[in-house]
Amino acid sequence: MDKKIEEIEEEIVDEFSFFESWQDKYEYIIELGKKLKGYPEDKQTGEYKVKGCQSSVWLVTDEADGRITFKADSDSTIVKGLIALLIRVLNNRTPDEILNAKLDFIGKTGLQQHLAQTRANGLAAMIKQMKMYALAYKAKQQI
Amino acid sequence: MQDILTKKIFDVDEVRKDFPILSREVDGKPLVYFDNAATSQKPQSVINAISDYYSNYNANIHRGVYSISIKASEAYENAKIKVKEFINASSEREIIFTRGTTEAINLITYSYGLENVNEGDEIIISEMEHHANIVPWQVLCEKKKAALKVIPVNDSGELLIDEYKKLLSDKTKIVAIGHISNSLGTINPVKEIIRLAKEKSKDIAVVVDGAQAIHHTKVDVKDIGADFYVFSSHKMYGPMGIGVLYGRSELLEAMPPYQTGGDMISTVSFKGTTYNDIPMKFEAGTPNVEGAVGLTAAIDYINCIGFEAIHKQETELLEYATAQLNEINGLRIIGTAKKKTGVISFVVEGLNALDIGIMLDTNGVAVRTGQHCTEPLMDRFGVPGTVRASFAFYNTKEEIDIFVDALKKAIEILK
């Protein structure tokens, strides 16, 4: 069985605790961003765009056996790295798991303080969009 | 205060001591503040003036019969005289305090604009305007079925004056132009722009957005011939929340109030109300006395440093930084006008401005990234946004070295 959301979050918090400076933490996020691939090019359109301020984010979802998978892209490598973290936590989960996820790792890693206060990176918008998709799938399942 | 007023020779190390925030650290690294076009830092004399106001004579102004209210009223009126002298207006009656540049432009559009612009009329702005000098005019044009005409810029980011001449017509009612571009640093020839408008018709009102100019260059509203000149205190080392609308008295006297309420009235009865004289006609409600006191101290500070020294230091920084940035592979400076202030906007091929900004911050360097509230201008240059470093006289070449090193490191990591 896959790891629980909280377990993966704990792993991420651990990984971030190895880095002493924010520069190192961001270098790690940039590495994750560079590795995030596989977003379908034909879906880099307004329809899949998450509203942000200074970066464009595209997000598509798929569903199989009641579980949701995400693919995403951004013109910002750092934002891509953040999405990679979110996807690592929320991918292949049921709508309820996604909706109930508290995503404490964002606070515990310090990313909250560093990023979430500014609308520039669109982190909050991304989480909202992922949860909206989960809600939509949940509604569909209940019909 | 006294030590500032007696300062004669410009010494950047000494000047930096006047700004307490400049000695702070970010994540253990010294703060390199290069976001001066967004807001400037405040000298201790401004901070002290505000603290002194609240500690010693805070009271509501006008009509108070007791000593601290009289002192506060005097301080507020003194601020108007200070601003009048600073921009060489004819009278302090021509100085209206607003919340900032944005409110000043809105005041003009709602008061002068609604009264004087009609269906089929035209308003001229430029491609490099800040959204604050675009959107209010757009709204006015929609309301009045008037047309908005836009002066284009060349590849260096300079206004095409010949195109402007072609746009001026019998239908032109207002020309609204930025004195200095917040995104590019371009210094626009406002005196010539105003002269050309007045040659077409003396009834064309020219509004100058001076938000980016007031602290870089000596502004003389009579010499340039502006009908309206607007700016914000917080860009000129003063506090946030207060700005200035200068308007020629004949125009202000003919304009209807923008907001109504206390302080702006002469008499009130349920049969009707008569309005106060200018400038109070345009200042409804309790004004920002703290802001006025802080702005007074900021003007004293600028006068003490002197525009000559400010210009010299900022020009040196601009030239030094431009030369270093031009050495970086794949970096393109957006805005290379012959006449510009200490603003450098740039893009790095293949890299996102936000990413660069975040990585610079990890080295203590504060810059702005994005569209800088000039979306049409970013479209003109075909870029989604830029990184913008903007300098003030208290910045140093050593800080530029830190910035350039951090930038090179960021590019290496992000590539």
More confident residue, A129 or B197: B197
Of B223, B136, B236, the residue nearest B180 (C-alpha): B236
pLDDT surpassing 60 at residue B346: yes
Chain A contact for B220 (CB, 8 A cutoff): no
| Partner-chain contact A78 B358, CB within 8 Å | yes
Tell which CATH classification among 3.40.1670.10, 3.90.1010.10, 3.30.1490.20, 2.30.110.10 matches the domain A5-142. Answer: 3.90.1010.10
d(CA B342, CA B328): 19
- Which member of A27, A53, A76 has the closest CB to residue B413? A27
pLDDT value at residue B263: 83
Q: Which band of pLDDT confidence, cut at 50, 70 and 90, is reported for residue A117?
A: low
Long-range CB pairs of A67-74 (<8 Å, 24+ gap) are: A67/A92, A67/A93, A67/A94, A68/A92, A68/A93, A68/A94, A68/A95, A68/A98, A68/A133, A68/A134, A68/A137, A70/A130, A70/A133, A71/A38, A71/A39, A71/A40, A72/A36, A72/A39, A72/A126, A73/A36, A73/A39, A73/A44, A74/A33
d(CA B235, CA B216): 10
Mean pLDDT of the residues in chain B: 95
d(CA B351, CA B7): 44
Cβ neighbours for B274, distance < 8 A, ≥ 6 positions apart: B265, B266, B267
pLDDT surpassing 50 at residue B340: yes
Cβ neighbours for A65, distance < 8 A, ≥ 6 positions apart: none
More confident residue, B263 or A90: A90
| Partner-chain contact A30 B369, CB within 8 Å | no
Mean pLDDT is lowest, of A59-63, B56-60, B155-159, B405-409, for A59-63
- How many Cα atoms within 13 Å fall on the side-chain side of residue A60? 14
pLDDT value at residue A51: 73
Domain residue spans in chain A?
A: 5-142
- Which member of A22, A54, A79 has the closest CB to residue B362? A22
The pLDDT tens digits of the residues spanning B69-78 come to: 999 999 999 9
pLDDT value at residue B1: 46
Average pLDDT over residues B305-321: 97
Separation of CA B177 from chain center: 12
DSSP string, B47-76: HHHHHHIIIII----SS--SHHHHHHHHHH
pLDDT value at residue A6: 93
Mean pLDDT is lowest, of A132-136, B41-45, B84-88, for A132-136
Of B336, B345, B412, the residue nearest B383 (C-alpha): B345
Average pLDDT over residues B327-333: 97
Separation of CA B254 from chain center: 26
pLDDT value at residue A107: 87
pLDDT value at residue A119: 56
In angstroms, the separation between the Cα of residue A54 and the nearest Cα of chain B is 5
Residues constituting chain A: 143
d(CA B206, CA B179): 12
pLDDT value at residue B402: 98
pLDDT value at residue B2: 44
DSSP-based three-state secondary structure for A64: strand
Let me know if B141 is a catalytic residue: no
Report the predicted TM-score, pTM, of the whole model to 2 decimal places: 0.93
Q: Which band of pLDDT confidence, cut at 50, 70 and 90, is reported for residue B317?
A: very high
DSSP string, B367-394: -EEE-TT-HHHHHHTT-S-EEEEE--TT
The pLDDT tens digits of the residues spanning B155-213 come to: 999 999 999 999 999 999 999 999 999 999 999 999 999 999 999 999 999 999 999 99
**Residue A55: closest CA among chain B residues belongs to which residue?**
B354
pLDDT value at residue A140: 86
Domains of chain B from N-terminus onward: 2-39+306-414 (3.90.1150.10), 49-303 (3.40.640.10)
Chain B contact for A27 (CB, 8 A cutoff): yes
Mean pLDDT is lowest, of B100-104, B112-116, B274-278, for B274-278
d(CA A3, CA B115): 68
Mean pLDDT is lowest, of B3-17, B252-266, B337-351, B390-404, for B3-17
Please check whether residue B338 is in contact with residue B349, taking contact to mean a CB–CB distance below 8 angstroms: no
User: For residue B127, what is the DSSP state?
Assistant: T
User: For residue B111, what is the DSSP state?
Assistant: I
Provide the 10 A C-beta neighbour count for residue B57.
Answer: 18
Kindly tell me the burial class for residue B224, based on how many C-beta atoms sit within 10 Å of its own C-beta (0-12, 13-18, 19 or more). Answer: buried
pLDDT value at residue B3: 47
Residues in chain A closer than 8 A to B355 (CB atoms)? 30, 76-79
Average pLDDT over residues A16-45: 92
The pLDDT tens digits of the residues spanning B289-298 come to: 999 999 999 9
Q: Which band of pLDDT confidence, cut at 50, 70 and 90, is reported for residue A61?
A: very high
The pLDDT tens digits of the residues spanning B357-376 come to: 999 999 999 999 988 899 99
Cβ neighbours for A75, distance < 8 A, ≥ 6 positions apart: A55, A56, B352, B384
- Which member of A22, A23, A78 has the closest CB to residue B354? A78
DSSP-based three-state secondary structure for B115: helix
In angstroms, the separation between the Cα of residue A53 and the nearest Cα of chain B is 8
Residues in chain A closer than 8 A to B353 (CB atoms)? 54
Q: Which band of pLDDT confidence, cut at 50, 70 and 90, is reported for residue B7?
A: low
ipTM: 0.89
According to DSSP, the residues that pair with B390 across neighbouring strands are B35, B343
**B307: its two tokens:** 């525009």
The pLDDT tens digits of the residues spanning B49-65 come to: 999 999 999 999 988 89
| Partner-chain contact B354 A120, CB within 8 Å | yes
